[in-house]
Amino acid sequence: MRNGETFDMHDPATIAVGVLANGEPRVALGTKLLVCRLDLDPNLVGPCLLGEARDTGLLPGADLDLSKAAFELLAPLDWGRIKIIWFEMK
């Protein structure tokens, strides 16, 4: 991973963030992120998790790439993609 650690798909705290045009991460590596699933009802938020920006990827917009374990805390793996909202925790 970009932070120098070995990727562990079973670690629910591992999150990859997108990069800006200059190649820098959208948020600094090591930043804690609160990630919540947006449910089908726009007035409800589903389960949430607290993770850490540890890697980067070519992700569209403000998308995140979650480890397998992180995704499974928010939704069944066979959903593939889910709508989320996320916040930097300072």
Could you tell me which of 77, 47, 62 has the C-alpha nearest to residue 15?
62
Give the alpha-carbon dihedral of 45, 49, 54, 59, to 10 degrees: -20
**pTM, two decimal places:** 0.85
3-state SS assignment for residue 47: strand
* pLDDT tens across the length of the chain (90 residues): 888 888 899 999 999 998 887 888 888 999 999 999 987 777 777 899 999 999 988 877 778 999 999 999 999 999 988 989 899 998
The dihedral formed by the CA atoms of 25, 29, 16 and 13, expressed in degrees to the nearest 10 = -160
Structure tokens belonging to residue 79? 């959903």
